[in-house]
Structure 1
Amino acid sequence: MVGTRANLSREVFGIKSLQRSFETIVFADVVDSVRLIDSDEEGTVQRWLSFVDAVELDISERKCGRVVKRLGDGIMLEFGDPIDAVRGALKMRQDLAKVNQRDPKLQRIEIRIGIHTGEVLRGPDSDLYGKDVNIAARLAAAAKPADVMASASVRDALANSVDAEFEDIGPVFLKNVPNPVHAFRVVPPHEVARVMPMMSSEDLLPTIAVLPLVVRNSDEASVWGDMLTDDLITALSRSHRMHVISRLSTVGISIQKYEPSKLSETLGADFLLSGSCSVGKNRHVLDLSLTRARVGRVIWSERIEVEAAEVLKKNVIFSELANQIHLAILDLEMKRAVSHPVPTLDSYEILMASVALMHRLSPTDFNRAGELLDALIERIPHNPVPLSWKSRWHVLKVVQGWATNRTEEARQALNLTHRALDLDPTNSGALIAEGFVQTNLFHDLDEAEELYNSALEYEPSEATGRALRGTLYAFRGDGARAVRDAERSLLLAPRDPHRFFFQCLAGSASLVAEDYPRALELIKSSLRLNRLHMSSHRMLAVTEWRLGNQLAARRALEKILRLDPGFTVSKWKRSTPSADLPVGQAFAETLKEIGVSD
């Protein structure tokens, strides 16, 4: 392993012992030193010695390496870790550039630097010898003025380094080195133009990077750290709610070594998942933290105990973790959306917060959701996703009884879905949104069914489309098909943050199928998750009545009237697509029996 000294030793040169170890060697020498000394001998020497003293002091204070020896117009350094060598080389280059700003152009000292990782021989005087030392020196000699040149062994150790970019030079023939050495020019990241993905302004999902887990108790158990990291990345990657940075992009990166903001910039990540694990014979303990990268604030942490056998079976532990992480991000973005001006929020933050606030179903949060969606549509007018969600917002406004002009809400909702489908006729979210509009605002169940069918052809595992089509079947009285679609939606969205909505729709399907115990179970669960959902309250009252629980049904009606004092059967009929169908007529009769005014 790089930076780990072997204890292997040999007896050479009589009784003198040489130790072998893997190190990273840095050579730096002055460019055009003869000319500089000829023009200003004393001044050049003084400036160079002052610079070398500063380099030696810096390395000593950081305890990351040592100066092996001074070479007149050069210097040789040793580092145990290639990253420290690269940082040291780039800092030398940067510091010398600052010093040169004070001197006339012809008196400025420039250096070239070579870096190589390999096996060295250490003498009794701590000097270093061997062919790999020679390669580092020859790389320095081959470099251009002010350049840092590294071998492939350095680049391979730091392929995804946050501190440096490696520009491929190709094979270089070095003096007294029999074979060409593959060399790279090393530059700070800010000197290289980044090629950014062409999706930043329209992207509506957060990006998360999973950093390698640190194994606390055993170097030999590091394979478990790698395995657990891989499992976390795999579980998060299955989610459609976030982008996950690839495993190879984060190898060797530690949150202890870098500022989160720097990792955010380098990896393009909004959030960093990091942590450690203690590996036992039968059980592993993981300590995980989720950090909002740009500000370095931990927003979620958790300690998890995992059975070793369960890790090998790839169980559901990590899927549950992925859901907790998504909920933590969702909670953060909701709070930010309420307390921060919209221009300071990213597009993905606005969308996540607006959808979450919309489903809280309190008037204040609901209105804020509408404002956020309007701002997002103005920011990215050619993206169908916010248009589709704003359409659903108008439908929910009517369903909750908050609309003063149902016709106007219907017009706006339909206009939004038409705009979304004009942009992308195959967008499943837009197709589902229009089906939602046709069902609830225009009561055109045939048109809605075609739209839901089209959406599910494009995306068969779309849970919302499946649940809404099940509700459409329920309106028609087709209990069997309603239950099949609704229960499948529960399977597809087991930990959805808005699962109260899926449970409510599944409850309506069971109610139509006359499976009242299942309907009661689902509706009560829905209300535990959201106490303000009017559809769930109405179905609870009807289900309890049909089960013969008259007292419970009347208590449910009291809650309905507290939330909506003007609730009547005729008002409900005006809002439901099933008013003129047998299912709706039977529902209305049950409401009257419970005591709802006509």
Structure 2
Amino acid sequence: MEADEQGTLARLRTHRIELIDPAIAKNQGRIIKTTGDGMLVEFQSVGDAVRCAAEIQIRMRRRNTDVPEDRRIQFRIGINLGDIIFDDGDIYGDGVNVAARLEQLADVGGVCVTQAVYEQVSDRIEVKFEDLGEKSLKNISRPVRVWRAVLDAAASAAGNGAARRGVIKPSIAVLPFANMSGDSEQEFFVDGLTEDIITELSRRHELFVISRNSTFVYKGQSVNLREIAQKLGAQYLVEGSVRKSGGQLRVTAQLIDTANDTHIWAERYDRKLDDVFAIQDELTAAIVATLPGRVEAAQQDLVARKTPASMAAYECVLAAKVRHHRSSRAENEEALKLITRAVELDPDYAHAHAWKGCILGQAWGYGWCVDKDATFDEVVREAESAQALDANDADVQRILAAININRNDLTKARHHQERALALNPNYDLVVVQQGELLTWLGRPKEGADWIRKAMRLNPHHPERFWSHLGKALFAAREYSEAVEAFMHLSKMDASQHAFVAAAYGWLGDRTAAAAHYAKISKLDSEFTIDTLVATLHYANDADLQHLVDGLKTAESAQF
């Protein structure tokens, strides 16, 4: 709190919303009161209490994996079984006092229980216990026998599921960029750029990124790239250089496949040297936004040469993503088969669960499923499973945000979307969804800017990005630009024709409005304005009415 009061409160609130409160509710617990950084919880079953405590502590370890030690929030938990007194919504008694003292005895991230608790649960749940003997507790006259829950093995088993089942992510090392300027003062900029690229790449959970400490050993050395790759265990290397000339700065970067010494990507960035820190941020974003896509493209060539039976979980996820982005019913079905196999190969692979939710969500959104309610429920289950396994995966938070948008819970959607952006601000799917959410929230001009940013981050973005941009521009009352965005689509569905028809309605072009409205019924014979409205998530009634009015103009133009 002394170092970062607001940040600590925000992180605590996030843990409450995403982990602690749902775990308590799932295990039939009831929060009696909170005491700043603590809480008192009552459970109907002591087994539920221990299961809840173990889940919270094991998942907190996963959540803290990518957090610096001085910013980690960690808890102690004490559990007692005994009589309590209810009075005015609170609970009192010796049983509560003992639980409070046990919490103080527990290790950081640990759980302590009394003998009574141990006797009730030792043979009924998977958690193991270590006997700490009898302890004297403050303000408790008698000694209390205490047991410590052994969570290390459970946490290790849960956290290392990917390693056990052989999820092989492509490994990448970023070598220190070379300072070609002859200006020693630029050294800090060059090293900072390299470090930022490593840090930002590390946010991508589909990559295994070699640490800075390992790669900076080779700073300033003339080295053999293949030998470095073997020593670091890197499948891909990134190398680059920085050259300053007058008021100009040139940065080059290239991606090398170390298996055959081929250059699979190279780029040059020229910038004016006005603010080196702003340039550092811009170049980092540009390089990091491009590299994972190039790695995926190279990996796809490897996957294509393998039979499905030989695919590891990661490779199944990779192939499933490619199919998903093609946005057709047949490709979605193939993507679902691949992602299901990934989950079967590694049930503890959070990224696979997240993408299964995403692929099912695409089927739900386009109506490519028999039972939409059942499919949506499955999307939710996969996203919640992914969050339980790894809440620090940007895809997990992105999909949870999308789920809450579709539930019209835009407040919760904002929470998960902000988490996704914080985890990976250069991920095009997260950035484009930020634009969608801002459009629903009544800030479509900002939304359009975010969607355009996503397009810049990924020049080979999925075609549907144009649809998102068209809807944002329509809500911003920029009708001509909206129509132009929709015209980038190779084909439009009924709802997209509806937005174009409404845009032409507002432009006063009754002929074009009528033509697009006529195409709607050909594509969807059951279409009505009300059915379209039911699929939208505008926070402001005025934005919804704006679309309806444009559609009614287009509808009347047919007669």
Tell me the CA shift for residue 550 of structure 1. Answer: 3.6
Q: Deviations over 1:170-194 (max 9, x none)?
A: xxxxxxxxxxxxxxxxxxxxxxxxx
Letter in 2 for 1:237: T
Task: Determine whether 1:573 maps to 2:537.
Answer: no
Q: Distance in 1 between matches of 2:402 and 2:462?
A: 17
SS at match of 1:238: helix
Q: Give the counterpart of 1:420 among 386, 402, 425.
A: 386
Q: Give the counterpart of 2:327 among 361, 369, 388.
A: 361
Q: Is the 8 A contact 1:210 1:229 kept in 2?
A: no
Q: Deviations over 1:447-503 (max 9, x none)?
A: x4464255257556477779768867867xx63xx5388468549857443586566
2:471 corresponds to which residue?
A: 508
Q: Is the 8 A contact 2:470 2:485 kept in 1?
A: no
Identical pairs, percent? 18
Q: Distance in 2 between matches of 1:416 and 1:345?
A: 21
Q: Deviations over 1:276-300 (max 9, x none)?
A: 5666555565554211234433211
Task: Determine whether 1:393 maps to 2:359.
Answer: yes
SS at match of 2:279: coil
1:455 corresponds to which residue?
A: 416
The unaligned stretches of length 5 or more in structure 2 are 1-158
Q: How many residues align?
A: 383
Q: Deviations over 1:131-157 (max 9, x none)?
A: xxxxxxxxxxxxxxxxxxxxxxxxxxx
Task: Determine whether 1:374 maps to 2:340.
Answer: yes
2:172 corresponds to which residue?
A: 208
Q: Distance in 2 between matches of 1:572 and 1:543?
A: 18
**Matches of residues 113-512 of structure 1 in structure 2 within 5 Å?**
200=163, 206-213=170-177, 220=182, 227-228=189-190, 230-235=192-197, 237-239=199-201, 240-241=203-204, 242=207, 244-250=209-215, 251-252=217-218, 257-258=223-224, 260=226, 262-275=227-240, 280=245, 283=248, 287-305=252-270, 314-315=279-280, 316-337=282-303, 340-342=306-308, 347-421=313-387, 423=389, 429-430=395-396, 433-434=399-400, 436-437=402-403, 440=406, 444-445=407-408, 448-449=409-410, 451-456=412-417, 461=422, 479=442, 482-483=443-444, 486=447, 489-490=450-451, 493=454, 495-497=456-458, 498=461, 504-505=467-468, 507-508=470-471, 511-512=474-475
SS at match of 1:403: coil
Q: Distance in 2 between matches of 1:297 and 1:495?
A: 26
2:481 corresponds to which residue?
A: 521
SS at match of 1:381: coil
Letter in 2 for 1:322: V
Tell me the CA shift for residue 346 of structure 1. Answer: 5.8
Q: Is the 8 A contact 1:461 1:492 kept in 2?
A: no
Tell me the CA shift for residue 387 of structure 1. Answer: 1.7
SS at match of 2:363: helix
2:499 corresponds to which residue?
A: 539
Structure with the bigger RCO (C-alpha within 8 Å, sep 6+) is 2
The alpha-carbon distance between structure 1 residues 375 and 469, as it changes in their structure 2 partners (threshold 3 A), is: same
1:51 corresponds to which residue?
A: none
**Matches of residues 5-84 of structure 1 in structure 2 within 5 Å?**
none
SS at match of 1:291: strand
SS at match of 2:368: coil
Tell me the CA shift for residue 384 of structure 1. Answer: 3.1
Q: Distance in 2 between matches of 1:406 and 1:548?
A: 37
SS at match of 1:516: coil
The alpha-carbon distance between structure 1 residues 487 and 566, as it changes in their structure 2 partners (threshold 3 A), is: closer
Please identify the structure whose Cα radius of gyration is greater.
1
TM-score scaled by structure 1?
A: 0.50
Q: Distance in 2 between matches of 1:449 and 1:255?
A: 52
SS at match of 1:409: helix
The alpha-carbon distance between structure 1 residues 420 and 306, as it changes in their structure 2 partners (threshold 3 A), is: closer
Q: Is the 8 A contact 1:428 1:455 kept in 2?
A: no
2:148 corresponds to which residue?
A: none
Q: Distance in 2 between matches of 1:279 and 1:582?
A: 52
The unaligned stretches of length 5 or more in structure 1 are 1-196
Q: Distance in 1 between matches of 2:183 and 2:267?
A: 22
Q: Distance in 2 between matches of 1:527 and 1:235?
A: 36
Q: Distance in 2 between matches of 1:410 and 1:341?
A: 31
Q: Distance in 1 between matches of 2:436 and 2:179?
A: 50
The alpha-carbon distance between structure 1 residues 587 and 571, as it changes in their structure 2 partners (threshold 3 A), is: closer
Letter in 2 for 1:258: N
Q: Is the 8 A contact 2:383 2:396 kept in 1?
A: yes
Q: Is the 8 A contact 1:209 1:244 kept in 2?
A: yes
The alpha-carbon distance between structure 1 residues 267 and 473, as it changes in their structure 2 partners (threshold 3 A), is: closer
Q: Distance in 2 between matches of 1:567 and 1:334?
A: 39
Tell me the CA shift for residue 378 of structure 1. Answer: 1.7
1:153 corresponds to which residue?
A: none
Letter in 1 for 2:502: V
Tell me the CA shift for residue 544 of structure 1. Answer: 2.7
Tell me the CA shift for residue 523 of structure 1. Answer: 6.5
Letter in 2 for 1:358: H
Q: Distance in 2 between matches of 1:458 and 1:277?
A: 33
Q: Is the 8 A contact 2:363 2:369 kept in 1?
A: yes
The alpha-carbon distance between structure 1 residues 542 and 276, as it changes in their structure 2 partners (threshold 3 A), is: same
Q: Deviations over 1:43-89 (max 9, x none)?
A: xxxxxxxxxxxxxxxxxxxxxxxxxxxxxxxxxxxxxxxxxxxxxxx
Letter in 1 for 2:196: T
TM-score scaled by structure 2?
A: 0.53
Q: Distance in 2 between matches of 1:525 and 1:451?
A: 29
The CA RMSD measured in Å over matched residues stands at 4.9
Tell me the CA shift for residue 266 of structure 1. Answer: 2.6
Q: Is the 8 A contact 2:175 2:237 kept in 1?
A: yes
Q: Distance in 2 between matches of 1:456 and 1:578?
A: 18
Q: Distance in 2 between matches of 1:466 and 1:271?
A: 26
Q: Deviations over 1:74-117 (max 9, x none)?
A: xxxxxxxxxxxxxxxxxxxxxxxxxxxxxxxxxxxxxxxxxxxx
Letter in 2 for 1:577: T
Q: Is the 8 A contact 2:529 2:548 kept in 1?
A: no
Q: Deviations over 1:308-356 (max 9, x none)?
A: 6665763524432332323322433455555543465565554455335
Tell me the CA shift for residue 304 of structure 1. Answer: 4.2
Whichever structure has more helix as a proportion of its residues is 2
SS at match of 1:541: helix
Tell me the CA shift for residue 272 of structure 1. Answer: 0.6
Tell me the CA shift for residue 393 of structure 1. Answer: 1.7
Task: Determine whether 1:549 maps to 2:513.
Answer: no
